[in-house]
Amino acid sequence: MRVPLAALCSLSILLSAAVAEAQSFSDPQSVLPKDVLNAFSLTGLAAENKQIVPVENQPFTQAIQLRTPLAPASEYADGEYSMRLRAFTATPVTQGDVMLATFWARSVEPVGGRAYTRFIFEGPGPSFTKSANALTELTPTWQRFEIPFRAANNYAAREIRVEFWVGYDPQLIEIGGIFVMNYGPGNISDLPIDHTNTYEGRELDAAWRRAAHKRINKYRKGNFSVVVRGKDGRALPKATVKVQMRRHAFGFGSAVAAAEILGTSSDSQIYRDKIKELFNKVVMENDLKWLGWESNPQRALYGVAWLRQQGIEVRGHTLVWPSWRNMPSNVKQLYDATLASQGQEAANAALRERIGNHVSEEAAALRGQLVEWDVLNEPYSNNDVQRILGTQEMSRWFQLAREADPEVNLYINDYGIYENRGWDIRHRNHYYNTIRHLIDQGAPLDGIGMQSHFGSRMTSPERLLEVLDQFAAFGKTIQVTEFDINTTDSQLQADYTRDFMTTLFSHPSVNGIIKWGFWEGRHWLPNAAMYRRDWTIKPNGEVWNGLVFKQWWTNMEGTTDDSGRYKVRGFLGEYEVEVSHNGVTKTFPATLPRKGLVLKVTLAN
């Protein structure tokens, strides 16, 4: 079915400028069957849970009413797609085609509450490649959702599944005005939609900002007094004191690659220089993952050694990423072979031993060299092992890591907790329950990692604080472990970098913000980097440097009063204090903790 562009625009609230931009597209084609609402059928739900109901005062007259009667049986990510609404496309799609999905939706139950659905545009198995994957939060008011994307591959008619996942807590939702249009070759920026992308609280006078600055002053600063005495013990007034910060107590860092650290190219040299210049903590991006470690442990060890020589703290990532696809292939081969030859009990024992030996061996090999270990990574979507050995096995991995390295801080780590406007409640609740389970099992859990990979949907500072408060109740340290913003909108990227960092820095439970890479030439999402391929700095990099080394940095100079005292309130961290009087100058190291510091120095009278 072909729908004229004007008819599509009549369903949207569009600025005339946005419509004008779309003139490069001609005659977009609907990829859905003609009878759209009846084309959708249920998977994982009885037929009576789908009804077509009348709608008034909207750009459409009918909608699908869809009930989720019970929460999914699975607590993991697959529970989301265990219940879904599905239709197959009616026309072929070419790789790279610009697509636009549009639909309206609202929640009916819980009454006055929020409900959820995830829009999916995916190809056939076994890969089920997704061209679009967008979680949406619904309210009782009808909302219009627009999801632009590109087709990931070439697909024949009926090869693509257009789905709405509803595997969440019991809810009743309505979805109408469903279009998925193929615009063919072109630029997504030319689609006839409002491309404005922002977030609540971006305004410079937003109330959250003032409150955050007050918290930063309270939690990230301390009172610093320098008391100067002569050799006879008398106060030395009018002595010149310079208080110069050298290192933050708070962790500001990035993921790095051992291959680049050890490289010999000019880019590798700049890479090393930037690490020393910008960061006081880093994480090895891939080298300490199980696959990276077993393939080249020596490279990882050399990389860690170089970082420690520079005085940079190193965190380990990750000991157990518990799915077959993220462990060495021989782990599953061992399990399958043992299962076939000796049965389930022996296969479970073999799997348990293989993983346990890995945890013990790698943690022992790096004993005393790391400040933190991500023991468990992404248990919501990586859970093949837990399904076989049980969730209690997770606490055993923490115990083994503690035995191998008693001093390192042990973390759990997951994505989807802060991201996507904070809408992924199911994922967040699973993470919360997993942490509670580990604590109840006696696991030596020291910290909670929040990955923080953002795309086009930024989470408001107020909602970030809500999530922080929820997890801070555990009394564990919280750390942003993999921060990046994948967008070509450099101003949005810079503004959200400022506001995300300010929000997190202001919360007393947070001890660090680690970016997942900083240079475009060595970044899994090049658009998210702080430095371009030619090493020119981007606006988000300017924001990082401005906050870390200017706004949140203390360099002060003054003179002692009549009691020989000079006072300053500084950011927590390491300092160099220079004191001069009557031509005599001495320099002293100092560390400013939150409780404050009185540094007593003696100079010649």
Residue 282: is its pLDDT beyond 80? yes
List CB contacts of 520: < 8 A, sequence separation 6 or more. Answer: 526, 529, 531, 532, 533
Do 116 and 89 lie in one domain? The reply is yes
For position 390, which CATH number holds? 3.20.20.80
Any domain includes 203: no
What's the whole-number mean pLDDT along residues 562-591?
Answer: 97
Please report, for the domain that includes residue 230, its CATH number. 2.60.40.1120
* Domain presence at residue 196: no
What is the tens place of the pLDDT at every residue in 225-258?
999 999 999 999 999 999 999 999 999 999 999 9
The domain that holds 20 is classified in CATH as 2.60.120.260
230, 268, 251: which is closest to 314 by C-alpha? Answer: 251
Alpha carbon 209 to its chain centroid, in Å, reads 21
Q: Is residue 31 part of a domain?
A: yes
- Please say if the pLDDT value at position 198 is more than 60: yes
Residues 474, 598, single domain; the answer is no
79 in any annotated domain: yes
Q: Which of 190, 206, 234 is the last residue of a domain?
A: 190
- What phi and psi values does residue 340 have, to the nearest 5 degrees? -70, -35
- pLDDT at 13 > cutoff 50: no
| Residues spanned by the domain of 107 | 5-190
- 5 pLDDT exceeds 80? no
Examine the domain organization and report whether 131 and 229 are in the same domain. no
On whether both 232 and 302 belong to a single domain, the answer is no
Tell me what pLDDT residue 26 has.
72
Instruction: State whether 233 and 273 are in the same domain.
Output: no
Mean pLDDT on 70-75: 96
What does the pLDDT read at residue 2? Answer: 31
* pLDDT at 12 > cutoff 70: no
Can the peptide bond before residue 318 be classed as cis, meaning omega within 30 degrees of 0?
A: yes
Q: Do both 273 and 403 map to the same domain? A: yes
Helices (H), 183-328: 207-219, 258-261, 266-278, 290-295, 297-309
281 and 177 in a single domain? The answer is: no
Q: Average pLDDT for residues 425-454, to the nearest whole number?
A: 97
Q: What is the pLDDT of residue 590?
A: 98
pLDDT for 4 equals: 31
Beta sheet of 584-592, edge-to-edge order: 555-559, 240-248, 573-581, 584-592
> What is the pLDDT averaged over residues 393-414?
98
**214 found inside a domain:** no
For residue 216, being part of any structural domain is answered with no
Write out pLDDT tens, residues 252-276: 999 999 999 999 999 999 999 999 9
Distances (CA, A) of 157 to 120, 124, 482: 17, 12, 39
The answer to whether residues 561 and 544 belong to one domain is no
The DSSP line for 355-407 is: HHHHHHHHHHHTTTT-SEEEEEE-TTT--HHHHHH-THHHHHHHHHHHHH-TT
222 pLDDT band, cuts 50/70/90, is very high
* Per-residue pLDDT at 24: 54
Residue 112 pLDDT class (50, 70, 90 cuts) = confident
Two structure tokens written together for 388: 């076989």
Of the listed ranges 14-23, 318-327, 389-398, the one predicted with least confidence: 14-23
Average pLDDT value for residue range 559-587: 97
pLDDT digits (tens, 9 = 90+) for 81-104: 999 999 999 999 999 999 999 999
Q: Is the pLDDT of residue 108 over 50?
A: yes
**What's the pLDDT band for 604 if we cut at 50, 70, 90?**
confident
Q: How many domains does the chain have?
A: 3
Question: What does the pLDDT average to over 592-598?
Answer: 97
Q: Check residue 413 and give its pLDDT.
A: 98
How high does pLDDT run on average in the chain? 94
Mark whether 570 and 546 lie in a shared domain: no
Q: What value does the mean pLDDT take over residues 492-500?
A: 98
**Furthest-apart CA atoms within the chain: distance in Å:** 95
* 476 and 414 inside one domain: yes
pLDDT for residue 499 is more than 60: yes
Asked whether residue 451 is assigned to any structural domain, the reply reads yes
Rounded Cα distance, 104 and 136, in Å: 11
Please tell me the predicted confidence (pLDDT) of residue 196: 83
Residue 8 has pLDDT above 50, yes or no: no
Predicted confidence band of residue 458 (pLDDT cuts 50, 70, 90): very high
Are residues 52 and 179 both part of a single domain?
yes
Task: Please determine, for residue 14, whether its predicted confidence score (pLDDT) is greater than 50.
Answer: no
* Strands (E) located in 154-239: 161-165, 171-184, 221-230
Query: Could you tell me if 175 and 263 lie in one domain?
Result: no
The pLDDT score that the predictor gives to residue 15 is: 27
Position 345 in a domain: yes
Last-in-domain residue among 173, 190, 207? 190
Q: Nearest 5 degrees, angle CA 444-CA 448-CA 453?
A: 150
- Residue 292 — pLDDT band, cuts 50, 70, 90? very high
